[in-house]
Amino acid sequence: MSEELLLPVPSVPPGDTGVAWLQSSVVRFSNGPDHTRRRALTERLLDGVRAGSLDELAIALGLPGSLDDIARIAPSYQPHEPITAAADAAVERLATTHDEETAARIGLLVQAWAATHALADRLRTGDTAPPVPLTRRDTGNSVIEVGLANHPFGRGPHACPGRHLATRIAKNTAFRALHQQADPLVLPNAWDHASAVALHAAGFPAVGTTSLGVAAAHGIPDGMGLAGDQAVALARLLADLPFPVTADLESGFGAPPHEVADLVAGLGVAGVNLEDGRPHGLATPAEQAELITAVKTRAPGVFLNARIDTHWLGLAPEETADRARRYVDAGADGIFVAGLTEPREIEELAALAPLNVLAQQRTPKELGELGVKRVSTGSLLFRAALHHTVATAEAVRDGGTAPAFSYEDVQELVSRGTRSAAG
């Protein structure tokens, strides 16, 4: 950490109302005993909060419906920025009392709002710059600007205590935005930590997991609901990586809806896949809708991709559109029809919600012209890696070789990949 980050923040003048009161009452712009006391208060407010969206965070901080006002305050929050009348009025609407706890609640949400939007934009575009490019410190003789380009997000004694929440919310926000672009999101599916970080290093902004890859790597058949422990362990391992991850949870591994909902809320991933296929057929639309509603009620910030297995299993394909409508009505954020290839059906389903299909002979651009918003590789990468592994071993046996990452390349990938963007 740069020694300059250990310097005190510039002092702010006292204020009784509006933004001036907020600045003079929050931990962010205080030093010494005031900083120690306010930081402890802020950490108590965040204790146990597991929000996946800014709306959820606002509710947890006792400020439901406040985000429009928070957006008005944010441009005036930093002491070097001009304070607008709109920002002052917004603070007064939210500050029913002018005490430190109220200031802490508002300040936390303002900082989370600003950091979330900046970080989400970077995650979506692949920009590696920190969401906050610089900070200000008081040397005693002058105020200096300290660049944060070489510091993970949230470093230093004045780092926002809510930076981990902001990072999680930013990844959720970015992942959702990746489904609203003109070109489809090409989502590669990993089966372990190394494959996930290698795919992100290759330029993919988000990564999914593959149930076949996870199950087969552990000697378990796919689609039978038997690899739940392994799938969940991988999701937890990848959740802290500095990019959005979506986890394939099959159909919830046989757990009742409320348990699946609790699992999704606690995983920390930006998205999940839940399929209506079961080990011995299809769930009824009502059963799957109940599962979707339970998960979205418990974890509204997580992108739920409702997989419809009518085409994949060759069962009741005529129900596909009806199931899609019912799942969207139940709260699904997107729909995924594995095995769907017919253009007319693709266009019909793409009109209902962001549509996910498996990679196929059509290019992502051609699929995007049909309305597709996400193209997954599914188990393809795992199967290709398995094939290449065997082919490489055969080549070595026969006196040849094959292209591969170097030892140092892999070490660097894993070292870089294990560092969360939250610092």
Q: What is the pLDDT of residues 113-138, one digit of tens each?
A: 988 999 999 999 888 777 777 777 76
Residue type (1 letter), 5: L
Q: Residue 421's pLDDT band (boundaries 50, 70, 90)? A: very low
Q: What is the mean pLDDT of residues 77-102?
A: 96
Residue 87 scores a pLDDT above 80: yes
Q: Residue 143's pLDDT band (boundaries 50, 70, 90)? A: confident
Residue 169 scores a pLDDT above 50: yes
From the list 73, 91, 102, the residue with the least C-alpha distance to 18 is: 91
Calculate the alpha carbon distances from 332 to 224, 231, 293 in Å.
23, 21, 8
Report percent pLDDT > 70 for the chain: 95
Q: Which of 125-129, 146-150, 202-206, 226-230 has the lowest mean pLDDT?
A: 146-150
- 361: number of Cβ within 10 Å: 6
Residue 159 scores a pLDDT above 70: no
Question: Greater confidence, 2 or 89?
Answer: 89
Q: What is the mean pLDDT of residues 212-220?
A: 97
Contact partners, residue 269, CB within 8 Å, separation at least 6: 235, 238, 239, 244, 245, 246, 247, 302
What confidence score (pLDDT) does residue 234 get? 98
**Reduced to 3 states, what is the DSSP secondary structure of residue 306?**
strand
- Which tokens in the block code for residue 56? 């959820």
What confidence score (pLDDT) does residue 350 get? 98
Q: What is the mean pLDDT of residues 90-97?
A: 96
pLDDT digits (tens, 9 = 90+) for 242-260: 999 999 999 999 999 999 9
Q: Which of 2-6, 202-206, 413-417 has the lowest mean pLDDT?
A: 2-6
pLDDT digits (tens, 9 = 90+) for 279-317: 999 999 999 999 999 999 999 999 999 999 999 999 999
Instruction: Please state, in angstroms and rounded to a whole number, the distance separating the CA atoms of residues 50 and 201.
Output: 28
DSSP 184-214: PEEE-EESSHHHHHHHHHTT-S-EEE-HHHH
Q: Residue 420's pLDDT band (boundaries 50, 70, 90)? A: very low
Residue 379 scores a pLDDT above 50: yes
Across the chain, mean pLDDT equals 92
What confidence score (pLDDT) does residue 423 get? 36
- Which tokens in the block code for residue 47? 């204790």
pLDDT digits (tens, 9 = 90+) for 343-367: 999 999 999 999 999 999 999 999 9
